[in-house]
Chains A and B, each alone.
Chain A
């Protein structure tokens, strides 16, 4: 019995040690050698989820690199921001999408629900610190261990193949060809779902990490703006507008919001209420490019106010 227990314990300890090695060594290699470098001509970077991913066609905007990624909450964006800012000293301006659904509790699921976490966590787990790992571990250990396993597998593969390039994985403009299908009852449906947003619950984890992103960029003396991409008039999350602005003013009033919520677009320029299609993205991106040329991102209150006047009253309003 003694021999059995001794051998079993030895086997378990050796297995655990080897497994820790399999998790930690590739993660360290990736953390040290990961490549987040973007072309030096890009001085402006944009982070966010699928709204800006589909709205900002960066091939039409001079000097801007769209690094948004679908279903990416701020928790994972923060990891990306740290690496991109560190490895690309030429970056002067950082744009962060701040749209209505990003305050909603739905973002909690985006952060730690298996469906989303199994995609995001393996990509950025190597760059997280212990407290961030702990946030996910504490929330759901089962999901956490599932995702650790996926992350270890992917990291091991990257380490074995010396594939440390993240530049192609961290996001970019997503072209959508489809147009939204409109129904006569859309306006009615829009009103019906309003009740859901009377008392919207906030995603504090998302708001905390937006704050961390802002602080991180400020510490590194980057120009920083929040941006809201165009949203369709019947986009359901517009119902939380009051809370949305309240959160903005309460927690992020030190950062300007470039607001394109009401940017004038036709119905057929949306792929769905939250996302622009190719046509909409082209028109919007060209417009945004002109605004950059006009100096919308020039730092300094006076400058902003001066250019704000030149911008269409319903689009690109600086708040």
Chain B
């Protein structure tokens, strides 16, 4: 109950009015679960199931996508010579709506498919939906994973709590140092992309790639660490995605809770990988386009999803998409040259796709890319910033990558630090992180995934 109150208070600190929406959504799915569980008629179950799905997705559509559909319709009408002035909503997007809606949907689908029992305790169910560390930016939890932990009696575990703090510290470093430093440069370059040389634009895309990774995985680390302090283990959301050797592996390592959500609740019901090649291709495109659209109501996200589907196609067609299940160079210090080549190629494709994710419009992304592939790619950087500051940021990214590489076989990069024999080395590293967070903290930026 205390955790639930804390979670609601946390959400109300952003905007208390939208707390009612969260409570309504929670109540709807809770009642739906009970009604489905208490009904013997499949028609009745189906009715409640679709009612919940339609209302949940309806809220998501109204708040997140209505204006996009309305303006796209107006644009389309204008293209065929009809002038339409659509009525648009002047309402802010409730923070975390995509995340808590997906929590609720997974629960309703699981109850409908008899994978789990409907939850009888409203407080427990509400906490599953609204647990504050994951409320605004995930990870997207499953009832099968989180609800038993919520219901179980938890005892304080010193080592788990220390591990939680360690992960929080690492998350703060990723967010406040790497992500926020990179954000300054990425924002500057994307905002004035027309004045920069191709090489500077490449730098901008690289900065954004590290910004979004450290921003989102940093948040996830903080969320997982905070939850661990309360004795709750959340789903892992990132597993060193930039060391992936192909795009399929990247998607097994990036935003894992969302990827697996789409896999379990959309890809598998569509036939998954047990269908013919053409159906698999179709299913993959559906998943990635919807995943892109989930991120935001803009054509840029849809193109980003489409590109990722395109990049994953060779491995789907050649059936090599499950070739790289283990982390690269497991048990070894360095990768082979072939592995390194694959990592660089995969990373380049991912960075290319991020340009669409970050751009304000598809037109801006296309002009950004066309400038990259021009002769100005070979001219120097024309970024009007202090060279030493730029150098500092690049150095920090390199140091960060080294630590990530060394810790790539663990749940998070510095989780094995506890195994260091000498306490003073361990403490020195923690104090170093604190110093770096303090000294190199960039200008405060909101978490990118809060907008989704």
Which chain A residues lie closer than 8 Å to B444 at the CB level?
142, 146
In the complex, whether B156 has a CB less than 8 A from a CB of chain A is yes
Which chain B residues lie closer than 8 Å to A3 at the CB level?
158
Count A-B pairs with CB separation below 8 Å: 39
How far, in whole Å, are A4 and B231 apart by their CA atoms in the complex?
Answer: 14
How far, in whole Å, are A18 and B165 apart by their CA atoms in the complex?
Answer: 19
Binary CB contact string for chain B from 137 to 172 against chain A (1 if under 8 A, 0 otherwise): 000000000000000000010100110010000000
Report whether B430 and A149 are in contact in the complex, using a CB–CB cutoff of 8 Å: no
Checking B161, B165, B439, B441 against A22 with a beta-carbon cut-off of 8 angstroms, the contacting residue is B439
In the complex, whether A86 has a CB less than 8 A from a CB of chain B is no
Report whether B439 and A11 are in contact in the complex, using a CB–CB cutoff of 8 Å: no
How far, in whole Å, are A14 and B427 apart by their CA atoms in the complex?
Answer: 11
Checking B431, B434, B439 against A149 with a beta-carbon cut-off of 8 angstroms, the contacting residue is B439
Report whether B430 and A11 are in contact in the complex, using a CB–CB cutoff of 8 Å: yes
Which chain B residues lie closer than 8 Å to A19 at the CB level?
434-435, 438
Which chain B residues lie closer than 8 Å to A118 at the CB level?
443
Which chain B residues lie closer than 8 Å to A8 at the CB level?
165
Given the known A-B contacts A4-B156, A8-B165, are A152 and B430 also in contact in the complex, defined by CB atoms under 8 Å? no
Report whether A4 and B158 are in contact in the complex, using a CB–CB cutoff of 8 Å: yes
Binary CB contact string for chain B from 430 to 450 against chain A (1 if under 8 A, 0 otherwise): 110011001111111000000
CB distance from A1 to the nearest CB of B (A): 5
Report whether A149 and B438 are in contact in the complex, using a CB–CB cutoff of 8 Å: yes
CB distance from B329 to the nearest CB of A (A): 34
Report B390-441 residues with CB < 8 Å from chain A CB: 430-431, 434-435, 438-441
In the complex, whether A81 has a CB less than 8 A from a CB of chain B is no
Which chain B residues lie closer than 8 Å to A18 at the CB level?
431, 434-435
How far, in whole Å, are A1 and B229 apart by their CA atoms in the complex?
Answer: 11
How far, in whole Å, are A18 and B431 apart by their CA atoms in the complex?
Answer: 9
Checking A4, A15, A142, A153 against B439 with a beta-carbon cut-off of 8 angstroms, the contacting residue is A153
Checking B158, B162, B441, B443 against A114 with a beta-carbon cut-off of 8 angstroms, the contacting residue is B443
Given the known A-B contacts A14-B431, A15-B434, A22-B435, are A4 and B440 also in contact in the complex, defined by CB atoms under 8 Å? no
Report whether B439 and A156 are in contact in the complex, using a CB–CB cutoff of 8 Å: yes
Given the known A-B contacts A11-B430, A146-B444, A149-B440, are A4 and B162 also in contact in the complex, defined by CB atoms under 8 Å? yes
Given the known A-B contacts A8-B165, A14-B431, A146-B443, are A1 and B156 also in contact in the complex, defined by CB atoms under 8 Å? yes
CB distance from B424 to the nearest CB of A (A): 13
User: Which one of A3, A4, A142, A156 has the greatest number of beta carbons of chain B within 10 Å?
Assistant: A4
Which chain B residues lie closer than 8 Å to A22 at the CB level?
435, 438-439
CB distance from B253 to the nearest CB of A (A): 31
Which chain B residues lie closer than 8 Å to A4 at the CB level?
156, 158, 161-162
Binary CB contact string for chain A from 151 to 188 against chain B (1 if under 8 A, 0 otherwise): 01100100000000000000000000000000000000
Given the known A-B contacts A3-B158, A4-B158, are A152 and B438 also in contact in the complex, defined by CB atoms under 8 Å? yes
Report B56-109 residues with CB < 8 Å from chain A CB: none
How far, in whole Å, are A118 and B165 apart by their CA atoms in the complex?
Answer: 31
How far, in whole Å, are A4 and B229 apart by their CA atoms in the complex?
Answer: 11
CB-CB nearest in chain A for B386: A119
How far, in whole Å, are A152 and B436 apart by their CA atoms in the complex?
Answer: 11
CB-CB nearest in chain B for A19: B438
How far, in whole Å, are A11 and B400 apart by their CA atoms in the complex?
Answer: 23
CB-CB nearest in chain B for A8: B165
How far, in whole Å, are A15 and B165 apart by their CA atoms in the complex?
Answer: 14
Which chain B residues lie closer than 8 Å to A114 at the CB level?
443
How far, in whole Å, are A4 and B431 apart by their CA atoms in the complex?
Answer: 17
How far, in whole Å, are A181 and B193 apart by their CA atoms in the complex?
Answer: 24
How far, in whole Å, are A1 and B160 apart by their CA atoms in the complex?
Answer: 11
User: Which one of A8, A118, A149, A152 has the greatest number of beta carbons of chain B within 10 Å?
Assistant: A149
How far, in whole Å, are A19 and B440 apart by their CA atoms in the complex?
Answer: 13
Report whether A146 and B431 are in contact in the complex, using a CB–CB cutoff of 8 Å: no
How far, in whole Å, are A18 and B438 apart by their CA atoms in the complex?
Answer: 11
How far, in whole Å, are A132 and B165 apart by their CA atoms in the complex?
Answer: 36
Report whether B431 and A152 are in contact in the complex, using a CB–CB cutoff of 8 Å: no
CB-CB nearest in chain A for B388: A157
How far, in whole Å, are A311 and B158 apart by their CA atoms in the complex?
Answer: 81
CB distance from B195 to the nearest CB of A (A): 16
Report A1-17 residues with CB < 8 Å from chain B CB: 1, 3-4, 7-8, 11, 14-15
Which chain A residues lie closer than 8 Å to B162 at the CB level?
4, 7
Binary CB contact string for chain A from 122 to 147 against chain B (1 if under 8 A, 0 otherwise): 00000000000000000000100110
User: Which one of B162, B439, B441, B444 has the greatest number of beta carbons of chain A within 10 Å?
Assistant: B439
How far, in whole Å, are A149 and B431 apart by their CA atoms in the complex?
Answer: 16
Report whether B430 and A153 are in contact in the complex, using a CB–CB cutoff of 8 Å: no
How far, in whole Å, are A142 and B442 apart by their CA atoms in the complex?
Answer: 11
CB-CB nearest in chain B for A152: B439
Which chain A residues lie closer than 8 Å to B430 at the CB level?
11
Which chain A residues lie closer than 8 Å to B431 at the CB level?
14-15, 18
CB-CB nearest in chain A for B165: A8
Which chain B residues lie closer than 8 Å to A145 at the CB level?
441
CB distance from A37 to the nearest CB of B (A): 25
How far, in whole Å, are A15 and B169 apart by their CA atoms in the complex?
Answer: 13
CB distance from A70 to the nearest CB of B (A): 14
How far, in whole Å, are A11 and B428 apart by their CA atoms in the complex?
Answer: 11
How far, in whole Å, are A114 and B430 apart by their CA atoms in the complex?
Answer: 29
How far, in whole Å, are A8 and B430 apart by their CA atoms in the complex?
Answer: 12
How far, in whole Å, are A187 and B156 apart by their CA atoms in the complex?
Answer: 74
How far, in whole Å, are A118 and B385 apart by their CA atoms in the complex?
Answer: 13
CB distance from B270 to the nearest CB of A (A): 46
CB distance from B169 to the nearest CB of A (A): 10
Report A84-118 residues with CB < 8 Å from chain B CB: 114, 118
CB distance from A142 to the nearest CB of B (A): 5
CB distance from B407 to the nearest CB of A (A): 21
CB distance from B166 to the nearest CB of A (A): 11
How far, in whole Å, are A1 and B162 apart by their CA atoms in the complex?
Answer: 11
Which chain B residues lie closer than 8 Å to A156 at the CB level?
439
CB distance from B26 to the nearest CB of A (A): 31
Report whether B434 and A146 are in contact in the complex, using a CB–CB cutoff of 8 Å: no
CB-CB nearest in chain A for B392: A153
CB-CB nearest in chain A for B229: A4
CB distance from A48 to the nearest CB of B (A): 23
CB-CB nearest in chain A for B430: A11
How far, in whole Å, are A182 and B267 apart by their CA atoms in the complex?
Answer: 62
Please list the 9 inter-chain residue pairs (A to B) with the smallest Cβ-Cβ separation, ordered nearest first: A153-B439, A15-B434, A1-B156, A149-B441, A142-B444, A4-B161, A19-B438, A4-B158, A146-B443
Q: 6 other contacts beyond A145-B441, A152-B438, A152-B439, with CB at 8 A cut-off?
A: A4-B161, A7-B162, A8-B165, A22-B435, A22-B439, A146-B443
Write 16 A-B pairs (CB below 8 A) sorted by A numbering.
A1-B156, A1-B158, A4-B161, A11-B430, A14-B431, A18-B431, A19-B434, A19-B438, A22-B439, A118-B443, A145-B441, A146-B441, A146-B442, A149-B441, A152-B438, A153-B439
